[in-house]
Amino acid sequence: MSVCNKYDVLILGSGIAGLSLANYLIDKQRLKSENRKLKVLVVSKGEVNETNTAWAQGGVAAAVDTNDSIERHVNDTLAAGSYANDTDVTQKIISQAPEAIRDLIGWGVQFDKKSNGDFDLGLEGGHDHPRILHHQDITGAAIQHAIQEYFTKAGGEISNHTAAIDILKTADGFWVTLFDLSRHKTIRIFLRPPGHGHRWYRSAFYKNYQYPIFNRRWYLFVASAGSSHKGISDGSIPPNRIVCGRKFILPHFRSPQGCGC
Ligand SMILES: Cc1cc2nc3c(=O)[nH]c(=O)nc-3n(C[C@H](O)[C@H](O)[C@H](O)COP(=O)(O)OP(=O)(O)OC[C@H]3O[C@@H](n4cnc5c(N)ncnc54)[C@H](O)[C@@H]3O)c2cc1C
């Protein structure tokens, strides 16, 4: 990766979270037929396909069968979690699962089907109905391959062996520090806040805009940026800017001054 390249969006992580977000961005742009092509960079601290996603074997649970329902899937999940689960989060994730499956299929993921064309759904412990979509027993590898290919074919760039190590909030934006693990070099990048009216900002989150799910990792990341959850939710940093743990998105970054570009 050239330090001097300019991008509009930086996504940390090349697993299903990061690349899904990248692909949603691409889809949204296509939908709007925007003239200006958004430059998206995904960074991965290892090889692009060295992810948990690529290792996942069993498959993905979603209530896609006509005899199944979101309610049954939610009930099974709550029971399996001894009702210690956050009901709201469980409900939200499960109700979005069938649509997420359709998105994955749209990006080229092939889930196994029976001879009649229906999905070959597996039954897993804790479920009262078969609802595991799979690709043989290498579902994660199939997903990783497809979403990666969709992203790169659309012109997205991936930087391997690049670890995000720090983020610093300043008065006019964010400094993100990346470390190039191959060349042992530190790369500092400045991200300019897009502003509330920025059209890409909403585009990036059009899928999960309504359901930002925050977790500890997200809080830590934001805290290291010198902000707080309150600061984020009251509009100083919009809540859907950095979401869902590893789904970090840092819009519109440019290289630091003085790098010669
Ligand atoms: C062996 C195994 C089997 C599994 N089986 C299943 C299953 O059958 N069904 C199921 O639903 N789930 C399964 N899971 C869980 C599932 O794989 C994960 O929940 C899911 O893949 C997480 O996706 P992700 O994109 O959030 O993270 P990952 O796929 O792990 O991607 C994380 C990305 O972030 C990058 N990254 C991390 N830190 C940094 C940093 N500081 N700087 C730059 N990049 C960074 C990594 O390099 C990587 O690209 C399994 C997991 C494993 C390990």
What is the pLDDT averaged over residues 127-141?
97
pLDDT, residue 30, reads 75
Which amino acid appears at position 167 of this protein? I
C-alpha dihedral (219, 220, 226, 229), degrees to nearest 10: 10
List, in sequence order, the alpha helices (H) in the chain.
16-32, 52-55, 70-80, 87-106, 139-153, 199-204, 216-224, 229-233
Whether the per-residue pLDDT at 190 is higher than 60: the answer is yes
Measured in Å, residue 195 CA sits from the centre of ligand 1 at 31
Measured in Å, residue 236 CA sits from the centre of ligand 1 at 30
DSSP label of 38: P
Which of 11, 16, 53 has the most ligand 1 atoms within 8 A of CB, as the residue to mutate? 53
Whether the per-residue pLDDT at 203 is higher than 70: the answer is no
Whether the per-residue pLDDT at 51 is higher than 70: the answer is yes
| From-to residues of CATH 3.50.50 in the chain | 7-52+154-254
What is the pLDDT averaged over residues 65-86?
97
Please identify, by atom number, the ligand 1 atom nearest to the C-alpha of residue 140.
17
Pocket lined around ligand 1, Cβ cut-off 6 Å = 12-18, 43-46, 51-53, 55-60, 140, 163-164, 246
pLDDT, residue 28, reads 76
Model pTM score: 0.81
pLDDT, residue 185, reads 87
In percent, the amount of the chain with pLDDT more than 70 equals 66
CATH class label, 7-52+154-254 = alpha beta
Whether the per-residue pLDDT at 207 is higher than 70: the answer is no
